[in-house]
Amino acid sequence: MSGPQCCANPPTLSPGSGSGHVEQLGGLKAYVVGSQDSKLAILLVSDVYGYEAPNLRKLADKVAAAGYYVVVPDYFKGDPYAPENAERPIGVWIKDHGADKGFEETKPIIQALKSKGISKIGAAGFCWGAKVVVELAKCELIQAAVLLHPSFVTVDDIKGVKVPIAVLGAEIDQMSPPALLKQFEEVLAAKSEVDGFVKIFPKVSHGWTMRYKVEDEAAVKCAEEAHLDMIQWFVKFVNRVIKEAKM
């Protein structure tokens, strides 16, 4: 079960952050940003703190600048994890917000994107969101996946993946320790039919790509390196699928 590390360094949520806007999509509120004319979409699936985290929206804006239509759904429907609520610790909160529910709620969002003319979709999941994304990757509902400091993802999950997947993990991580990440790497190396990539970032902790302090230059640099790896994975595999379709 999620421990203290999973919930460390909570963000100050800001409903008005980011350069995009909030709209209804597939039955959920979502922060959306990027060109409506893009045929390529990226889903960013949050950690337990939800879609109003400023660093998450800042990343969504950065991904949109790379040419994608970006969607950050509010899977928790206005009820993100609140660490100050002692009567509702993470173990209780998560019973109302299982990743299996998030996976099911993503299906209408994907259909809504396709109805907008989107032809290819990548997805990145952070902590809690990684479990949602790996389920999408197992069912080929997306064309490429990135898991960042994943929570609850198992070796069997990785064995079931059917689309290109990158796993970006932390050296200091109780949820996905390096030994587990190495197992993911071994599984992917044996799956010649699926492109896979595993990278362990030294000296960082679970959640580092989202819950950094903007004034901490070293932390920002490590987070931005992971963000660039994520975007490059989508450029390589989501964009490539489009090019192949045109040939």
Residue 4 has pLDDT above 70, yes or no: no
Dist CA 229 CA 203 (whole Å): 17
Helices (H), the chain: 54-65, 90-93, 99-115, 128-138, 155-160, 178-190, 217-246
pLDDT tens string 67-97: 999 999 999 999 999 999 999 999 999 999 9
Q: Which of 27, 78, 49, 26 is nearest to 151 (CA)?
A: 49
Domain regions of the chain by residue span? 4-239
Q: Which CATH architecture has domain 4-239?
A: 3-Layer(aba) Sandwich (3.40)
The secondary structure of 134-162, three-state, reads: HHHHHCCCCCEEEEECCCCCCHHHHHHCC
> What is the pTM assigned to this prediction?
0.95
Over residues 200-227, the pLDDT tens digits come to 999 999 999 999 988 999 999 999 999 9
Q: How confident is the model at residue 132 (pLDDT cuts 50, 70, 90)?
A: very high
List Cα–Cα distances, 50 to 12, 37, 195, 229, in angstroms. 11, 27, 29, 22
| CA–CA distance, 89 with 106 (Å, rounded to integer) | 25
Is the model's pLDDT at 245 over the cut of 80?
A: no
Share of the chain above pLDDT 70, in %: 95
Q: What is the DSSP string of 191-212?
A: -TTS-EEEEEEEEEETTTTTS-
The pair of three-digit structure tokens given for residue 148, joined into one six-digit string: 């960042």
φ, ψ for residue 8, nearest 5 deg: -70, 155
Residue 79 corresponds to which tokens in the numbers above?
A: 């009820």
Confidence of residue 197 (pLDDT cuts 50, 70, 90): very high
